[in-house]
Structure 1
Amino acid sequence: MNDLPTPDARGASVSGSAGARGTATAPTPAELRRWRQYLADERAEAQVYRELAQRRSGSEREILLALADAEGRHESHWFDLLGDAVGKPRPADFRTRMLAVLAKRFGSVFVLALMQRAEARSPYETDADATPAMAADERIHGEVVRALAARGRSRLSGTFRAAVFGANDGLVSNLALVLGIGATGVAPSVVLATGIAGLLAGALSMGAGEFVSVRSQRELLAASTPDPQAHTAVPRLDVDANELALVYRARGMSEPDALAKARDVFGGLTTSTAAIRIQRVGDAGITAPVLPSAGGADVADEHEEIGTAWQAALSSFCFFASGAIIPVLPYIFGLSGLAAVAVAAGLVGLALLGTGAVVGLLSGGPPLRRALRQLAIGFGAAAVTYVLGLAFGATVG
């Protein structure tokens, strides 16, 4: 961070501890403490944006540096208000300092998501010593950071999201299964076998479901993809009947637009028909890639972002299994009874807090609240099966 500037550098109009408020009323000690804290927080937030900018390029870098400059203007306001009473530099609040550390080390979308929440917590709208422009700045900063974070979220691969949700499914379902069976009073070896069976059954089910889902999606998209050879028929169409206009109408164009589009195509016909392309919904005003004039290799590339069915199946299997193995670990290492239950619940609880926090960051929500919600849902499901296991165990006994 840069050193605090001297009062002279901020302008000679500032006079004494009254600062920018004038000499009529001297600030109270509580006001001075609050202004100094605001000053420290603004400097720290500016540093966070600079650290994030170091890991970006192009327009994102420029936007982050502009945000840092804006925080610098806010810093100037509090410095001018403090005047000679600026005192020694204070540390920023703990959250902002942690964000600065994370931005320097990682510079990820998660830091942007946390900065979005930090901007939303700005107290300037209710603080009479902050200008209306500063309060408006903070609100707009939150929207700017929200947009940058949304860019980052969109760049996160679907595989990453699948990892979080797949692992969470494994954690909750297998913890509930293991605790429910264990509560009946069966031998630890039976609980272990049940846990392993639940892991394999759940992971295979997830993998099979993803395989069918992705394969079906690709087949549906392939069925909706225009024939890449359809353009070869255009030169031989009856211009008067204008069948081409029907194609455009079927893809969403109004009748006058479809007729006009077809006339344009016929008007541009040359001996080189390879220049003609029948596009997808893009002809109705939606941007879409142009299909190749021959062959079908490029058509398959349009669906690459979906991934292959086998990739999806293997990923889902591994993600579910990575979560489902955790409740089984105590029994693998020979624990039994309440000790195994406590260890399994503790390990799963930590994992649920982690996945919940990640989900919160990805969705732009409060990470702690999402983590606690995830923990409550997971433990709630496990508690129900544990109580049922106790009931069934007592009945059998």
Structure 2
Amino acid sequence: MPVQKPPTRAQINTWRRYLANERAEAAVYRELARKREGAEREILLELAEAESRHEQYWRDKLGDYVGMPRQPDLNTRVMGFMAKHFGSVFTLALMQTAESRSPYIDDKDASPQIAADERMHAEVVRALAARGRERISGGFRAAIFGANDGLVSNVALVLGVLGSGLGSTAILLTGISGLLAGALSMAAGEYVSVKSQSELLEASTPDAAAHTLPGQVDVNANELALVYRARGMSAEDAADKAADTFARISTAPRHDARDAHAPAPAPAAPDEQSHGGAWVAALSSFVCFSLGAFIPLIPFLFGAPAAVGAIIALVLVSVALLITGGITGLLSGKPPAARALRQLLIGLGAAGVTYVLGLLFGALLG
């Protein structure tokens, strides 16, 4: 029997890192499970158990080289911190990204089963994160995008006015006008958008009284089959389903006939509260747009000269754009750093364009 070669120093370091990360990820899932109930709790605990099995795999691979416990990677420690102090939506979004980028896929020392497990975990976490995103999709979405729009639009407006050659007072007044106009416009747009979505869903919801009709319609005309066809069944399947329904009605007791296999209602339209509500979305958008649009005005409120105030405003807005971009990336399950940088570049690009346009208009009007 051939003697197994001892692992190299590089392998030992890598396996120890894997071991620490698996232990930490199991702890993250257990912490998230502690804050959930029902099926979600059970799923998270199953994921934690799977990570513990992976931990044991690397412990067995290391054998006598297991060494002292070491710290996991920085991103894994961040996920642990977020699991303890923040909502599960953000943590699950990070976990989704981490599971999707598992190093086991390209590591020959990882068994195919572990690599497959990690890819499956990514799909499980994706589904759990999607549930959380749906729960906060209304007001929170309006808040994040309202703040981002306020930042970009008002810093662009401020720099455009600056480029035209106007002073600090004119910039401040223009910025306040832009804040109010933009916040009201965003709030109205969010209200109309969410309200319209709710009304469209309501229009697609079956009539609650429809279950009383099958026992009264003309069996020969068989209009019940039309209901099933309208809901997506083929003509043959709809006819068979309708015939089955009428057969059950004819043999059911009189007081139960109207309920015997009545047309199954389509999924009920989510109530308005599940979408955050039109008023909640409008208020969130108004407040957060105002906060975002207020940031580039801060230096001018303290009397900063036009040029100095513009530089300070750009710095403040850049930091805020990085934060909102990172949060957007987290919620979308994408790497937050890349989304933060993209948000920054878009915002600064819009500001740069309006500044150049302001210079041109200033030159034309001057």
Match of 2:105 in 1: 125
Render the CA deviation track for 1:139-172: whole Å, top value 9, x for unaligned. Answer: 2222222222222222224111111111111111
Distance in 1 of aligned mates of 2:69 and 2:235: 70
**Identity between Structure 1 and Structure 2 (%):** 59
The question of 1:77 aligning with 2:57 is answered: yes
TM-score (normalizing by structure 1): 0.79
Which of 271, 283, 288 is residue 267 of structure 2 equivalent to?
A: 288
Match of 1:267 in 2: 250
Match of 1:15 in 2: none
Render the CA deviation track for 1:281-301: whole Å, top value 9, x for unaligned. Answer: xx4x67434xxxxxxxxx9x8
- 1:149-228 matches, within 5 Å, as 149-221=129-201, 223=203
Match of 2:284 in 1: 315
Which of 43, 47, 52 is residue 32 of structure 2 equivalent to?
A: 52
Q: CA deviation at 1:185?
A: 1.7
Match of 1:372 in 2: 341
SS of the residue 2:72 aligns to: coil
Render the CA deviation track for 1:154-196: whole Å, top value 9, x for unaligned. Answer: 2224111111111111111111111100122212111111111
Distance in 2 of aligned mates of 1:136 and 1:254: 38
Larger CA deviation: 179-188 vs 251-260: 251-260
Render the CA deviation track for 1:264-316: whole Å, top value 9, x for unaligned. Answer: 3563787659956998xxx4x67434xxxxxxxxx9x8555456654443333
Which of 270, 294, 299 is residue 325 of structure 1 equivalent to?
A: 294
The question of 1:103 aligning with 2:83 is answered: yes
- 1:236-251 matches, within 5 Å, as 237-251=217-231
Distance in 1 of aligned mates of 2:129 and 2:199: 33
Kept after mapping to 1: 8 A contact 2:138/2:281: no
Distance in 2 of aligned mates of 1:277 and 1:172: 58
- Max Rg structure: 1
Kept after mapping to 2: 8 A contact 1:245/1:259: yes
**AA of the residue aligned to 2:286:** F
The question of 1:352 aligning with 2:321 is answered: yes
Match of 2:23 in 1: 43
Match of 1:16 in 2: none
Q: CA deviation at 1:340?
A: 0.7
TM-score (normalizing by structure 2): 0.85
SS of the residue 2:69 aligns to: coil
Q: CA deviation at 1:48?
A: 1.8
SS of the residue 2:287 aligns to: helix
SS of the residue 1:325 aligns to: helix
The question of 1:342 aligning with 2:311 is answered: yes
Render the CA deviation track for 1:11-34: whole Å, top value 9, x for unaligned. Answer: xxxxxxxxxx98442333333222
Q: CA deviation at 1:242?
A: 4.7
Kept after mapping to 1: 8 A contact 2:144/2:328: yes
Q: CA deviation at 1:330?
A: 1.6
**How many positions carry a matched residue from both structures?**
363
Rate the CA distance shift 1:227–1:278 in 2: closer, same or farther, 3 A: farther
Rate the CA distance shift 1:345–1:257 in 2: closer, same or farther, 3 A: same
Q: CA deviation at 1:198?
A: 0.8
Q: CA deviation at 1:372?
A: 0.5
The question of 1:30 aligning with 2:30 is answered: no
Q: CA deviation at 1:353?
A: 0.9
**AA of the residue aligned to 1:143:** E
Rate the CA distance shift 1:269–1:206 in 2: closer, same or farther, 3 A: farther
Distance in 1 of aligned mates of 2:348 and 2:87: 33
Kept after mapping to 2: 8 A contact 1:41/1:93: yes
Distance in 2 of aligned mates of 1:215 and 1:278: 34
Distance in 2 of aligned mates of 1:195 and 1:242: 65
**AA of the residue aligned to 1:208:** A
Larger CA deviation: 336-345 vs 28-37: 28-37
| CA-atom RMSD in angstroms | 3.2
Larger CA deviation: 368-377 vs 212-221: 212-221
Larger CA deviation: 32-41 vs 369-378: 32-41
Which of 352, 358, 366 is residue 383 of structure 1 equivalent to?
A: 352
Kept after mapping to 2: 8 A contact 1:55/1:107: no
Rate the CA distance shift 1:352–1:222 in 2: closer, same or farther, 3 A: same
**AA of the residue aligned to 2:176:** I
Distance in 2 of aligned mates of 1:131 and 1:118: 18
Gaps (5+ residues) in structure 1? Answer: 1-20, 290-298
Distance in 1 of aligned mates of 2:108 and 2:214: 71
**AA of the residue aligned to 2:162:** G
Gaps (5+ residues) in structure 2? Answer: none
